[in-house]
Structure 1
Amino acid sequence: MYKSGFVTVIGRPNVGKSTLLNKIIGEKISIISNKPQTTRNKIQLVYTEEEFQIVFLDTPGIQMPRNKLGKYMLKISRETLEEVDIISFMVDESSEIGKLDSYIIEQLKSVKTPIILLINKTDKISKDETNQLILKYEKMNMFKEIIPISAIDGKNIQIYIDSIKKLLPEGPQYFPEHMITDKPERFIISEIIREKALESLQEEVPHGIYVSIEQIKERKEKDLIDVHANIYCEKESHKGIIIGKGGKMLKEIGKNARIDIENLLGSQINLQLWVKVEKNWREKEGKIKYFGYK
């Protein structure tokens, strides 16, 4: 009997969802940053074994929206709860349950889908502290399984996979076994560039960034791929920050992105970046849709 199903991984921003999924898949598909709003889209990541297939859904972190893009991201995260076979709710090692985690827990109380609770970052706390956290969440009587993990070093991830397998329904293989994501290379490349911008730029600037891939062209005679991309931002002042003095910041973003893109494509690349202004695009429904958030 072949088993398959869809599993969403939800939680507040920066709790480690994308780190976990990249670890499971073995490739860097979802971008990682210590800044909120890193994941904006619903990304499907496919894990296939001989007897089962898990389609993971990496969704935006659940938070209170500040603009129309934020409302879109919250809508995506909420809708996903109704579409999946299993929900994975991730928290971290904090001894106190914060406002946002409490808000998510309230949302989950009305959901009939089986929920696995993942307590991430347990490498930072003692075994006794971990056990106390498990007891605290057990008292809620909401979770099929409670699994302490460390996404960054892989602790107990196999236990998590085995727990999903037990709960999966009988079903078909949705994707070919070699496929690890439903997203095209263009999307992954644009996300890599955005990740490097998130890492390098000041607090407010990265949230207003969108990366558009304008061209991917292979030069067969030189074993080289040309990648041309536009980085959109919301203000002229942000454009200056992204470019930096003498183009220093843009060069840093490009240099860091090039390494990951070359690993992805398995080839040398010539990466060309341009910076353009699209004022307050996160508040414009038409622009949000045009940039692919729909």
Structure 2
Amino acid sequence: MEQNNQSKSAFVAIVGKPNVGKSSLLNLLLGEKIAIVTSKPQTTRTRIMGVLTKGAVQFVFLDTPGFHKAKTKLSTTMRRVVTTSIKDVDIVMLVVEPRGALTESELSLIENIKAAKIPAILVINKTDLYADKSVVAERIAELTALYPFDAVVPLSVAEKKGTDALLSELTNYAEEGEHYFPDDTLTDQPERVIAAEIIREKLLLFMQQEIPHGTAVIIEKMREREDRPILDIEATIYCEKASHKGMIIGKGGQSLKRIASAARADLESFLDTKVNLQCWVKVREDWRNQESMIRNFGLSDDS
């Protein structure tokens, strides 16, 4: 679409500790699921870009991994992705919950925002969980005492409330100029990457807590059949221990079938076509501490 002189764009980083609803917020803003969502930490591993064009204004959102203490080379990379993203945008959205002690990670994020000297909006998610609005007010007072946020937006992703106010605030930081992406762009993520993430989401949802964090998914093949409207997808699930491989596959292959079946349903919805999904499981011991494997799995921050 041809742009005019009033076109504006804003690059926005979405940051916060794990499980505050960053990816859910991105999906709600875009009206489409491009970031996987579970209740487990480390669901988001890389920076995911989502693009929303509303009239003359284009928002480019960067959904970042939950900021947490690094225990492996992979988690060190994830922390670096967050701090780099803060420096690369026009404005930062710090997403927090209404109640609970502030974590070391959240305090560190505020320090990073201070150091970057960048505009920041405080987003209080999950307000639907507290009928007593004084809870939200107390949280706002606590955080604004630590940093002079440019705006504060309470919202509820679960109830789909508050996003209009958030977009209104973000519009103030959009700069004039041509849009960076075509107006119908949703994300810069290739379909193969989104497909791999959908499969990993099902691993996180269905498996024991210690197993999914040590898994990665690679799409080996994605090809449309010439004779029928069917997309053949072949995926390899990598895990760190032989015992984990057995658990992922399950007795008689039942666990893997359940994971693949749920993933296939989401893939068909996202890709709008019938999908034939085949999954295999392989072991790569301690891959999260191997730089070469992290790069091979597309999780490095040097791209």
TM more than 0.5: yes
Letter matched to residue 225 of structure 1:
L
- 1:195-274 matches, cutoff 5 A: 195-274=201-280
- Equivalent residue for 2:3? none
Q: Aligned residue for 1:18?
A: 23
Unaligned runs of 5+ in 2: 1-5
Q: Distance in 2 between matches of 1:60 and 1:155?
A: 23
Aligned mate of 2:83, from 62, 78, 81: 78
For structure 1, the 5+ residue unaligned runs are: none
The CA RMSD measured in Å over matched residues stands at 1.2
Aligned equivalent of 1:179: 185
Deviation at 1:41, TM superposition (A): 1.0
Deviations 1:69-117 (A, max 9, x none): 1111111111111100000001012143233222222332222110000
SS at match of 2:295: helix
Match for 1:143 among 141, 149, 164? 149
2:117 is matched with which residue?
A: 112
Give the deviation of 1:51 after TM superposition.
1.3
Q: Please report how far the alpha carbon of residue 168 of structure 1 lies from its aligned counterpart in structure 2 after TM superposition.
A: 1.6
Aligned equivalents of 1:71 and 1:129: distance in 2?
33
Asked if the contact 1:109–1:142 (Cα under 8 Å) also holds between the matched residues in 2, the reply is no
Q: Once the two structures are superposed, what CA deviation does each residue of 1:111-166 show, in whole Å capped at 9, x if it has no partner?
A: 21100000110000122222222222233342000111111222111100010001
- Partner secondary structure for residue 175 of structure 2: coil
Q: Does 1:124 align with 2:118?
A: no
In structure 1, give the amino acid aligned to 2:56. E
**Percent identical residues:** 43
Give the match's secondary structure for 1:5.
Answer: strand
Q: Using structure 2 for the length normalisation, give the TM-score.
A: 0.94
Alignment of 1:265-284 (within 5 A): 265-284=271-290
What is the rounded CA distance, in whole Å, between the counterparts of 1:286 and 1:152 in structure 2? Answer: 39
The answer on whether the counterparts of 2:42 and 2:65 sit within 8 Å (CA) in structure 1 is yes
1:58 paired residue among 55, 63, 84: 63
Residues of 2 paired with 1:39 and 1:222: CA distance? 34
TM-score, reference length from structure 1: 0.97
Write the distance in 2 (CA, Å) between the matches of 1:96 and 1:272: 44
What whole-Å deviation, never above 9, does each CA across 1:6-52 have from its counterpart, x for those lacking one?
A: 10000001110000000010111011111111111111100001111
Pair 1:188 & 2:194 matched: yes
Counterpart for residue 2 of structure 1: 7
Deviation of residue 292 (structure 1)? 1.2
AA at the equivalent of 1:145: A
Per the TM alignment, residue 247 of structure 1 is displaced from its structure 2 partner at its CA by 0.6
**Other structure's SS at 2:187 match:** coil
Q: Secondary structure at the residue paired with 1:110? A: helix
How many residue pairs match? The answer is: 294
Q: Tell me by how many angstroms 1:169 deviates.
A: 1.8
The answer to whether the 8 Å contact 2:196/2:219 transfers is: yes
